[in-house]
Amino acid sequence: MRYRKILLLAASIAVFTTFAAMSYPENSLKKSLNFDDDTPLSVLLEKFGEKPVYKQVQVTADAVEQGRALLRKGFTTAPNSKKTPRQSKFFVCTSCHNVQKEFDDLSIIHPEARLDYAVKKGIPFLQASTFYGIVNRTSFFNGDYQKKYENSLGIKEANKDLSAAINFCAVNNAQGRRLKEWEINSILAYFQTLELKVSDLKISADEKLQIQNVLNAGINDKTAIDLLKSKYAVAMPATFLKIPRFEIPDPSLYNDNKRLKDGKAIYEQACLNCHFQKKYSFFGLDKELLTFKALEKATRTENYIFSPYFLVREGLSPRMGHRFHMPLFTAEKMSPEQLESLYLYISAMAKKKYKE
Amino acid sequence: MKTLKLLTALLSCIALNISAQSEKVYHTFTSTRIINSQSTETVKEGYMDIRITHRFGDFMRDWKPENSWGNLLGLEEAADVMVGFEYGIKDNLTAGISRTKGGADMRQLMHGLLKYRPLTQTTDNAIPLSLAIVGTASWATMKRSNFDPFNPVLSSLSVCETCAGYFANRWRYALELHLARKFSSRFSMQLSPMLIWRNLVRSGEQNALFTANAAARIKLTKGMALMLDANLPFSSTFWGPNRRYEIPLGLGFEFETAGHCFQINFTNSKGIVGTDYISDTNSDWLNGEFRLGFTISRLVKLKKTFPEN
C-alpha cells in the first residue's frame, strides 16, 4: 500500500514536470531554433537580443505589391482604390537603386567587387546602394552625404531612421512629393521581402555550428551578433572625391584588356542604363563613334559639365527649370581606377583602338 | 484599303519577329523632318514634339542686290510659317496636327498627320532598311475672297459656293513611303516614293502627282549634321523649258542639344508641308529665289513613365 502511494506520487511529479517543461517560454531547451539557409537574418539577430532598427509593419500581399509598384513605377493603387499621384515626374526609385544583391560576398563592398558582380549578373551599375538587405542596415545617408545635405531639413533623422531616409530621398533626390505614412509602410513591407537571409551571407560550417550552439543555449550573445554583422555591411560608407585632373593615359594601358573591359562594362551598365535612348535624360548616349569622340573631347576639357570626370564626381544638381539631375558616384560606387578605365574605353573607342 | 492593311500587318509581323532577336538601329535621323520632307523617325511614346518652322522671303531675286536689300535677304518676309504638335502614341506611331500660313494659293492650312514605322533597320542587317508610312490630310481654311478671274484656284474656292465639291476643293492629301538606311554613324540616306492628291488643280494638271524624294544626313559631330533634301515630281509641269513649277531642293544644318533640335536651311520651296510645297514650288534656285528657313523642335515628355531597369 505504501509503495503504491510512493509510485503514484512519483508519477504525478513526473507528469507535472513534463507539462511544466513543455509550456515554459523562451529559454526552454525545447524552444531552440534550427536555422537554415532561408532563415531571415533579422530573426536570428532578434533571437540573440538585437531588435530591428526600422519600423515593423504588417507584411501583407497587398502592402508588398503597393510598395513594389511605388518603387518601380512611382505610383500605386491607394487603399481607397484610386491611383495615387506619381511620386516624382523625374525618377522612380529603381532609377538609382537596384533591388537585388550587388556583391558576391556582402562583407566585401569594394567597387571592383560590385562591378564584377554587376557584369556577372547583368545588373545596372548604379550610383545608390541596393534596396536588397536595406532593412538589415542600421544607418543611411552616411559619410559625405551628411555634409552634402547638412543644411537640409531631415538629414539627421534620415541617418538613423529608414522611414525618414525614404522620404528624404523622395523629396531631395527624386525631386518629388513626400510619401504618406501608408505608402512608407507599404515600401517597408516590400523591403522586408528583400531582407537578407542566411544564404546571402558567407558563413562557414564552423561558424554555423557556433551560431547553432548559441541558439540552442537560448541566450543573448553579442559574439554571435558581431559574427553575423561581420558578414555584411551594416552601413554603406560614402566618400565624395574631387574631379580628377585629366592626364593623358600611358599608351600601354590601351593594351590592358581587363581595364578596357571594365570601362566597357561601366559605360554600358552605368552610363547607357540612364542615357541610352534618352531614358532619364534628354542627353542621349549610344555606342556611335561620334558620341565617343564627343565624350573623349569633353573629358579633356577641364571642369566641363559634359565631361564624364565631372559628371561622375560632381553629378548635376537639380535647379529651377532643370530638376532632372544626375546623382554622383561616391568613391565606394566607382573608384578612381574605374573612372580612369571608363575614360580609357571611351578614348579607345573614339580612336578605334578597341574592337569589342 | 484592304491590301494596304494586309501589307501593313505583314510588315509589322516580319518586323516584330526579326526585331525580337536583333538590335535596332536608332537615330537614323535626328528629327522627324529632313528640311521639309518627313524622315523615318517617329516621336517616342509619351513624348510631344513641338515644332515651329519659318521660311523667309527670297534671298536675292534675279541676283539683284537691290532685291535683297529691299527685304534684307528675305528676312523681312514670311513665305510660310508652321506651328505644329506631334505626339508619340507608340514608339513607332505618331500623330500630329499643324497649322501653316501656306506658301502658294491655298492659305491658312490645317494639316493632320499619321506616321507609322513598321520596319526598323537592325544592326545585324536582318532588316537592312527602316520603313515609315506617312499619311497627311491638308485643309485650306481660308475665307472666301473676291472673285479673281486670273486665279482660277482662288475663284473656285471663293465663288462657287453652290458648286458640287466646294468644301472638297479645299482638301489635299499625301501618302508617303520612306525607306531609309543608316550606313554609318556619319551618313544616313532616305528614298521616298510619294503620292500627292489635290482635289482642285489648274487646267492641264492631274489630281494625282507622283513624286520621288531623296534626302540625306551627313553627321559632322555628335550634335551637328548637314542635311540635303530633293523632291522630283513625275509631271511634265516640272520639267522642260515651259515648266510651271520648280524642283524643290534644300540644304541645311541641324544642331541637336538635350531636348531641342534646331535646323537652319536654304530651300527654294516656300511651303513647308508636302501637300503644299511639292506641287506648288515655283521659285528657282538659279534666279536667287531661295530662302533662309529655320525649325525649332522641342521634345516634351507628357507620359511620365519609365521603362523598368
Which grid cell is B276?
503644299
- In chain A, % helix, strand, coil (3-state, to 5) comes to 50, 5, 45
pLDDT in tens, B79-115: 999 999 999 999 999 999 999 999 888 889 999 999 9
Interface test with B, best of A84, A96, A276, A277 (most B CBs within 10 A): A277
Q: Looking at chain B from residue 135 to 194, which residues have their Cβ under 8 Å from any Cβ of chain A?
A: 184-186
Please give the residue of chain A at the shortest CA–CA distance from B184: A288
Cα–Cα distances in Å, from A326 out to A89, A282, A306, B301?
Answer: 14, 12, 11, 18
CA distance A343 to A311: 12
* pLDDT value of residue A26: 44
Helix (H, G, I), strand (E, B) or coil at A57: coil
Nearest to A292 by CA among A281, A300, A303: A300
Contact assessment for residue B122 and residue B23, using Cβ atoms and an 8 Å cutoff = yes
Whether A324 has its CB under 8 Å from any CB of chain B: the answer is: no
Nearest to A124 by CA among A138, A114, A136, A133: A114
Instruction: Find the range with the poorest average confidence among A40-49, A181-190, A191-200, B159-168.
Output: B159-168
In percent, the amount of chain B with pLDDT more than 70 equals: 84
Picking from A92, A282, A290, the nearest residue to B258 by CB comes out as: A282
Confidence of residue B39 (pLDDT cuts 50, 70, 90): very high
* pLDDT value of residue A102: 96
Task: State the smallest CA–CA distance between residue B85 and chain A in angstroms.
Answer: 19
Nearest to A41 by CA among A194, A146, A241: A194
Q: Which helix (H) or strand (E) holds B190?
A: strand B187-198
* pLDDT value of residue B49: 96
User: Which chain A residues are Cβ-neighbours of B309 within 8 angstroms?
Assistant: 94-95, 98, 124, 273
Confidence of residue B15 (pLDDT cuts 50, 70, 90): low
- Average pLDDT taken over every residue of chain A: 89
pLDDT in tens, A239-278: 999 999 999 999 999 999 999 999 999 999 999 999 998 8
Which grid cell is B271?
511651303
User: Which chain B residues are Cβ-neighbours of A87 within 8 angstroms?
Assistant: none
Q: Does residue B11 register a pLDDT over 80?
A: no
* DSSP summary character for residue B25: P
Q: What is the dihedral of CA A144, A147, A152, A153, to 10 degrees?
A: 80
pLDDT in tens, A105-126: 999 999 999 999 999 999 999 9
pLDDT in tens, B41-67: 999 999 999 999 999 999 988 888 887
Q: Does residue A27 register a pLDDT over 70?
A: no
pLDDT in tens, B146-169: 445 556 666 666 545 555 457 788
Which grid cell is B255?
544642331
* pLDDT value of residue A24: 47
Picking from A89, A278, A283, the nearest residue to B304 by CB comes out as: A89
In percent, the amount of chain B with pLDDT more than 90 equals: 62
CA distance B207 to B177: 19
Mean pLDDT throughout A70-95?
A: 93
In percent, the amount of chain A with pLDDT more than 90 equals: 70
Whether B299 has its CB under 8 Å from any CB of chain A: the answer is: yes
Looking at per-residue confidence, does B186 or A26 come out higher? Answer: B186
* pLDDT value of residue A90: 87
Cα–Cα distances in Å, from B249 out to B36, B68, B182, B215?
Answer: 9, 20, 22, 10
Task: State the smallest CA–CA distance between residue B175 and chain A in angstroms.
Answer: 29
pLDDT in tens, A124-172: 999 999 999 999 999 999 999 999 999 999 999 999 999 999 999 999 9
Confidence of residue A30 (pLDDT cuts 50, 70, 90): very low
Q: Does residue A235 register a pLDDT over 90?
A: yes
Asked whether the beta carbons of residue A98 and residue B309 sit closer than 8 angstroms, the reply is yes
Mean pLDDT throughout A315-339?
A: 89
Beta-sheet pairing, B130-140 with B109-119: antiparallel
Contact assessment for residue A163 and residue A259, using Cβ atoms and an 8 Å cutoff = no
* pLDDT value of residue A340: 96
Whether B65 has its CB under 8 Å from any CB of chain A: the answer is: no
- Please state at what angle helix A222-229 crosses helix A205-217, rounded to 10 degrees: 150
Bridge partners for B274 per DSSP: none
Asked whether the beta carbons of residue B222 and residue A277 sit closer than 8 angstroms, the reply is no
> Which residues lie closer than 8 Å to A27 by C-beta, 6 or more apart?
A218, A219
Task: State the smallest CA–CA distance between residue B300 and chain A in angstroms.
Answer: 10
What's the pTM value of the predicted model, to 2 decimals?
Answer: 0.85
Which grid cell is A200?
546571402
The alpha carbon of residue B284 and the mean position of all alpha carbons in its chain are separated, in whole angstroms, by 19
Q: How many CB atoms lie within 10 A of CB B219?
A: 24
Helix (H, G, I), strand (E, B) or coil at A165: helix
